[in-house]
A and B are shown apart, each in its own frame.
Chain A
Amino acid sequence: MPTRSTEVVIAAHNLKKVYGDFVAVDSIDFKVRKGESFGLLGPNGAGKSTTMRMMSATMERSEGELMILGLDPKQDSPQIRAHLGVVPQQDNLDGELTVAENLYIYGRYFGLSRAYLKPKVEELLDFAQLQEKRNEKVEALSGGMKRRLTIARGLINQPEILMLDEPTTGLDPQARHILWDRLFRLKEEGVTLILTTHYMDEAEQLCDRIIVMDNGRIMAEGSPAALIAEYSSKEVLELRFGSNKNAESAKKLAGYGDRLEILPDRILIYCTDAELVLEKINHDGMKPLTSLVRRSSLEDVFLRLTGRTLVD
């Protein structure tokens, strides 16, 4: 895998986006380095997609500074877009064209020649595993196939930065794993990846560095391991005593780990050695209905930082 460069490809300072009275992105600062896989995490409405659209030079910022590949999108948005690959949340492929034609015509918008595009389309059809569907209209494809085609389309101009807005939302597990494999290959080739996602396992799999956003602000920043170390514990013990008994049992569990979280259906004990804590609990005579020992995950960090309130 190519070593990551220290060269900054995107730099945002006090970046802000306002719609009327609503502040979608609230004066955030971050940098993305060349070859890095950079993730934006956050609940719905956190400002991830708005940040992504400003980074993809398709939406103007309200305030602050933003430099992409050394250029300011306020002045040079077409020049910046020539270097980017963008995979939007919605596939927005052309349903009147075939799979291969979708790739071809998208490439033409970048001013790419027919001689370049002919082999490139073949290469991307292989990459997206869509050779057999090349002459079919897009409408005939499954959701996973459409997503792979949209990602392939984003690669037609050999982008220096590939931006993916929730690349696997709505896909079944098989399709997600195929996509992860494709994205990991790009990462290995040194393409700078920027992605937003709801899926913590996706972020852990693909991202070198993450920012967690909520209400338009950055709540935390770091590698998945560093975020877990800072905002969670090494392990988590999940205990179920029965829905009516969780709160009562929790009182007896105080002091067993670093931190305790009581959920409607279970109790989470954040600790360094979950097996040891479970042993102690059993030894002290408490009998949970079920117990689960697991490694602490990014999801624990995410929920701690952004809360467990449902956001529509």
Chain B
Amino acid sequence: MSSINRQVSRWTVLRAVEHRLLIQKKWFASILMFGIGNPTIYLLSIGLGIGSLVDSNTTGVDGVKYLTFLAPALLASAAIQSAMTETMFPVMAGFIWAKTFFGIRSTPISGKQMANGVWISAILQVTFTTGIYWIILWLFGAMDHKGSWLSLFTACLGGLAVGAVLLWIASVIDHDDGFLAIINRFVLMPMFLFSGTFYPLAVLPLYVRWLGWISPLWHSTELGRWVSYGHSVSGRLIVIHFLYLFLWIALGLKLAQARFEKRLAK
């Protein structure tokens, strides 16, 4: 009947990425404003305010000025925040709010490819917003060491570790009962507070320190401080930090892919 090419491509996943990018393009101004405004406000208040207080009373933290110590942690938490937005919102929209995934399901794309599509576009978005954050940090003089630029990658790694697991969790939810707010208040906020963001984790008593050990933010922050200004950490711990974050990514993605397949076959 028709002469159009009906070969099913293995790259169908890229169509899902294209779809996300088309939507993100509409939000570009907001993304940019948030990307610039958020770190600027943070650095003006906490970074410079608390930083000058700390630096005037001590010789800094971890052998560097407070802002340099704080920057990798802020960068990692920005990456996590961005990953949350870029995984949970599209999945909730796709499965619950607008149910767009069920429409797209009638095309040759598979559930696994749809999950991967959201994931890949999240990588792009997280890298973009974290990149802006890094530039602002640099402008404020917080990225003043030779290896500081590498903290962009360790931050993104932390963000994507959390993003992969949130991708799966969002795909499991059947009803939107304020779930995003719950994740924000009871997972992300405690993670932000107990991951050695504002002070070294060792300062905390042991009975709450474990919260940092299981937090991807702490692992990402430790790696960020190590690459940025040479924060002292053993080779074994470096491997553990990387493995832990990659484990979250692998597990989250695998579970999300399976869940997408199952849910879309209903």
Contact = CB atoms under 8 A, between A and B. Distances in A.
Interface of A: 56, 58-60, 78-79, 81-86, 88, 90-97, 101, 105-106, 108-112, 116, 150, 153-154, 157-158, 160, 190
A110 B108 contact: yes
Given A110-B108, A111-B9, 16 more contacts: A56-B106, A59-B265, A59-B266, A78-B109, A79-B6, A79-B8, A79-B108, A81-B107, A81-B108, A82-B7, A93-B98, A96-B93, A108-B19, A110-B107, A111-B15, A150-B103
B187 to A, nearest CB: 26
Contacts, number: 97
B239 interface: no
Contact of A83 (B6, B15, B99, B109): B6
Given A59-B265, A158-B1, A158-B4, A90 B102 contact: yes
The 3 A-B residue pairs whose C-beta atoms are closest, nearest first, are A109-B107, A86-B106, A92-B103
A108 B102 contact: no
Given A111-B7, A157-B4, A88 B110 contact: no
Interface of B: 1-2, 4-9, 12, 15-16, 18-19, 22-23, 26, 93, 98-100, 102-110, 264-266
Given A58-B105, A94-B100, A160 B15 contact: no
B19 A111 contact: no
Given A106-B107, A108-B19, A158 B2 contact: yes
A60 B265 contact: yes
A105 B108 contact: no
A95 B99 CA distance: 10
Contacts of B103: 88, 91-94, 106, 150, 153
A293 to B, nearest CB: 44
B110 to A, nearest CB: 6
A19 to B, nearest CB: 9
A79 B9 CA distance: 10
Given A59-B265, A78-B110, A79-B108, A92 B15 contact: no
A92 B96 CA distance: 10
A84 B16 CA distance: 19
Contacts of B266: 59
18 contacts: A60-B265, A78-B108, A78-B109, A79-B8, A81-B107, A82-B108, A85-B106, A90-B99, A90-B102, A92-B99, A94-B19, A94-B103, A96-B93, A106-B104, A111-B5, A116-B4, A157-B6, A158-B1
B12 to A, nearest CB: 7
